[in-house]
Amino acid sequence: MGTQAVWPPLPIVLAQSLNQTLNLHNIIATLQYNERVCEINLGGITNWELRNILAVTRVPFPALTDLVIGSEEQGDDEMPPVVPEWFLGGSAPRLRFLHLDGIQFPGLPNLLVSATGLVYLGLRNIADSGYISPQVTIACLSTLTRLESLDQQFEEFGTPLFHPHQDTRLGPPPPSIRSVLPALKRFTFEGTSEYLEYLLAWIDAPLLVRLGITFNNPPSDTSQLVQFVSRTPNIMALDKASMEFSGERFRFSLFREIHGPDPFSLTISSSDSNSQLSSLAEICTNSLSSSGFIRAVERVLITQADDPKLDWQDRDDIENRRWQEVLNSFIGAKSLNLSSSELGLRISPALRGLVWDSVTGVLPSLQHLIIENYPPRPVPEVIGEFVAARQLAWEIL
């Protein structure tokens, strides 16, 4: 009895790890069993290799549930690999997991129309040449009613600066009402604030529990982001805030006292420390505070990386005013935790100004002030004045 009579036509999983030498012949031979292939995972692939593999993917793959394609790092003068529109016969009805890294795929919107069971969609390192307009993205998302996780990242230096009234690549107009993503629980985005603002204006995600955002430059506007969060109950009710300054970027996070991954994080890439502080003050004052987004925050942590690139300008009235704007936004804060004596010295002039303000008008709920990693030297007099004026419990760690 032959082998084929013994073994049933089992599903095929095609996985190529990054540290393996690509066996192009075997991969092409395997893909010819298109009706049995259920998973394709190809990482670190070159343009030449992808072109050879795509030659056998014109036909449908009806059993395919997981698809991962990642290109190797490209040189400055190289175009990212391109997947043609006829890939998989233009249809993937059973697809649940789709991750493309550094890959252009002009036919992706059409493929997504057929992938109504998709649970995860990851589009990483999107180059300008692989641009997908926010309106096309909205139209695609509206059909993915089972989508639980969305990861969209544009290349840091290849992100198109999106202007709604100037961009000719917009595609069809957005729907007359917002699209609801009923199953979406995790959404991460990296790109420009202009793109994200347009996208968030037209979607709702009532079950969202984790929102991670990275802007490649200081945001020009975050109004739609704030409105989106105000429509998302799981992210509105967070009671702990963290602000982390480092040499290359600034990160603002909200979470619960007992938590896993941060439910909300906003990272701004900027090596200019003063720009980081300005962005924080702008976001806290004009966006988060006015919306009530941070009203439930009871504990505020401010941390500074031990990084020589982090060099705020000499303390002046502008910096003091920015710190005051940040602190004034947390009207429900009961605890303020500073990670270092440097931060204590930075913020102390701002606290001096708060000493003379109405006790009930600025940080009215504050009960604890904690300064960590303080050197064995006298505490700045102004901090003592602030503590005495507010009758706070405080610690030097």
Residue indicated by tokens 């300054």: 245
DSSP conformation class of 82: B
| Cβ atoms 298, 262 nearer than 8 A | no
Residue 3 pLDDT > 60: no
Looking only at the bridges linking them, the beta strands covering 264-269 and 240-245 are: unpaired
Helix (H, G, I), strand (E, B) or coil at 168: coil
Which carries the bigger pLDDT value, residue 135 or residue 171?
A: 135
The pLDDT tens digits for 57-100 are: 999 999 999 999 988 765 555 677 888 889 999 989 999 999 99
The pLDDT tens digits for 12-47 are: 998 876 555 667 888 899 999 999 999 999 888 888
The pLDDT tens digits for 88-134 are: 999 899 999 999 998 889 899 999 999 999 999 999 988 777 788 88
The pLDDT tens digits for 324-381 are: 888 888 888 899 888 877 777 778 777 766 665 554 456 778 888 888 766 555 556 6
- Closest Cα partner for 289 from 259, 263, 254? 254
Q: How far apart are CA 193 and CA 54, in angstroms?
A: 35
pLDDT at 40: 94
Q: How far apart are CA 196 and CA 222, in angstroms?
A: 9
| Cβ atoms 51, 72 nearer than 8 A | no
pLDDT at 61: 94
Residue 211 pLDDT > 80: yes
Helix (H, G, I), strand (E, B) or coil at 64: coil
pLDDT at 37: 94
pLDDT at 216: 80
What count of other Cβ atoms lies within 10 Å of the Cβ of residue 76? 5
Helix (H, G, I), strand (E, B) or coil at 345: helix
| Cβ atoms 82, 106 nearer than 8 A | yes
The pLDDT tens digits for 279-333 are: 888 888 776 766 677 877 899 999 887 655 555 555 567 777 888 888 888 888 8
Element (H, E) at 28: helix 24-31
